[in-house]
Structure 1
């Protein structure tokens, strides 16, 4: 039976999954790539940029993508972005120069900016209220489950050849076909509609605070795909497959809690959910800092993954609630900018900690920072409760 609504949802979910896997999917191959390009100046830094460089271009392009989305429509930008996602993503498979691979990663970043902005905007256009909450939870679950499959599969491919994980980006081809067939350009509600929010009504201070929160959260979150493979490579019995499996465990448990997001949101505010997310991530990072074998790291990833599974739906839903419909694309584009600047600068901010304290010590410092964020949201939630009781 043909059901356009089902296939439209599936297209949006698969597109969402592609944005979060964009950088991390080749993470299991990083140590091997570092050895292949050992003669290249600053190879240690440049190989890590293979994961994070897309984020820099996402950050720069996302505001423009938001403007294009609001001005010229959602579908055209989504289709164009899926095409260049394939071109930039798969380039690492047939390129043998580290510098050219980095150029391909920049192209990939431009594509992800367009996909993430249009997809999140379309979700805000198509769905409201409880249906939107449920869909955002499902989106987080798809991102997590996609990470489980693609990162684990990437580890297997990396044990065969370091370039094979780049073929995974070919997944964009069937998604392009689905978007072409099932995505319809939505009608934007006029300012006079009962569902519209006046441009002057949204809380600019809270929106700015949300951008900062997302930036800080992603700086910590991206320590896992960037730094963890190198920590695991020092442990006995670890190969690329085990590295991929360890990282994917985090995304698996993130997917599980994302599927429960609608029920969680019914009971807790956005601030309280963020408090729990940072607490769980902090506990996981603290445990990683004392890990002596990969099995203990896997256990730590379960705890951390439960926290990271709450991050994406909370940030997106909170902004959708605050954003006027006529500015939704632009504000979501800026949220993407905050997120992906965090991804790009994560290794740059963390590397001095790694140099001074080694990777385990860097995760310890990260855990302390996450516990501080937990306290910030605890007191913010407490203040909100007192105000509501008056």
Structure 2
């Protein structure tokens, strides 16, 4: 399982500065979309929840963003083909900043939820465009390296966003919404991109191939993306409530605890490209699921805040490789003309997992508390580890 994939070591043309900035800034924006308000969810619940159903709506302020990302991810490939990457990025960045900052002044929970949907659509459009840039302009180690950097920027953003958002939340739960104005920084870099859609993605032959989706798309990646999305987001929604049970009330303190998994994950994502020169995609997935399962189990079982942090650190070692390994493995399974659409479809499944998981585990959370949901997530990670091991053994026997 540790052997490197055949043909993985390849050379690629260097990226221009504008493309590098877009790829890295896109990671920042994707992370803020989901993480900026996580630490103030209990305060929003106290301020805006008026009935039993409203408590669920508050949690969906994070989950609904992921639901809207499904729409953005599944449609952006077609928009890029029609209008080009540059106008799509500019429009998405402007919408992201406008909708994201709506929480500074909206006082109606339902209106706030609608604004979060626009945040999700625009964030997904930006992220899929970044992934398409990586997968169409790079290959081999260079592709893995930049995919890892894209994800590491997202995770480092979460590290800084949590304490900053927590400090702002100490003043008012509204202030963390101001962080979404950072989406505007993407516009100058996007203006410098070439004003054309990728030729391969817009050709007549590519359009013909797209009409036969079952013939080229590896559908098992949808299930894999759904599982990864569940494992990546559900703990970020449940951990603040777990910490509140442990006696940690202040948003700034909760935000600092949430940085534990982000720090470990960001460091691992930075090392992903180097690691893939020595191990296969199967081995990278096995490591990720194993560490995520162990870390979540420890956090759920923890009797103290220190043990929760320890579990999150181990969990973070796994999540750092989840998305870069998913997207680079996918890129090797499809042709260049399908990279954009494949990335959009898989990211749509990845984003869909979040709101579905939040809704599905809510009865479990009510009956067994947030620790019960973490036990369930740990079981999911162990199950995925078993499937990955089984697939590797089956392929090894066939060879």
Give the alignment partner of residue 307 of structure 1, picking from 285, 308, 318.
318
- 1:17-32 aligned at under 5 Å gives the runs 17-32=28-43
Q: Is residue 265–residue 321 contact of structure 2 (8 Å, CA) maintained in 1?
A: yes
Q: Which residue of 2 aligns with 1:165?
A: 176
Distance apart, 1:387 and its partner CA: 3.0
Distance in 2 (CA, whole Å) between partners of 1:255 and 1:123 is: 19
Distance 1:8 1:191 in 2: 20
Q: Does 1:212 align with 2:212?
A: no
Contact 2:26 2:150 in 1 (8 A): no
Query: Which residue of structure 1 lines up, in the alignment, with residue 190 of structure 2?
Result: 179
Extract unaligned runs of 5+ from structure 1. Answer: none
Distance 1:283 1:206 in 2: 32
Q: Is 2:125 the counterpart of 1:123?
A: no
Aligned residue pairs: how many? Answer: 382
Gaps of 5+ in 2: 1-13
How far 1:138 moved relative to its partner?
1.1
- State the alpha-carbon separation in 2 of the partners of residues 19 and 190 from structure 1: 24
Equivalent residue, structure 1, for 2:20: 9
Q: Cα distance 1:4–1:310, how it changes in 2: closer, same or farther (>3 A)?
A: closer
- The one-character-per-residue Cα deviations of 1:22-71 (angstroms, maximum 9, x if unpaired) are 02210000011111123245121010011111111211232221111233
1:279 counterpart residue number: 290
- Normalised to the residue count of structure 1, the TM-score between the two structures is 0.92
Note the alpha carbon deviations across 1:283-333, whole angstroms, 9 max, x for none: 011001111222211111110001000101011111111222222221111
Q: Which moved more, 1:132-141 or 1:78-87?
A: 132-141
Residues 190 and 227 of structure 1: is their aligned pair in 2 closer, same or farther, counting only changes over 3 Å? closer
Match status 1:114 vs 2:110: no
TM-score where L is the length of structure 2:
0.90
- Structure 1 residues 335-389: Cα deviation after superposition (integer angstroms, max 9, x where no partner): 121011101112111112112222112211221221111111112122223333x
Distance 1:233 1:13 in 2: 34
Q: Call closer, same or farther: CA 1:322–1:71 in 2, change over 3 Å.
A: farther
Alignment of 1:1-390 (within 5 A): 5-182=16-193, 185=196, 187-189=198-200, 199=209, 207-388=218-399
Residue 236 of structure 1 contacts residue 293 of structure 1 at CA under 8 Å; is this kept in 2?
no
RMSD over aligned CA atoms reads 2.4
Aligned equivalents of 2:18, 2:306: Cα separation in 1: 39
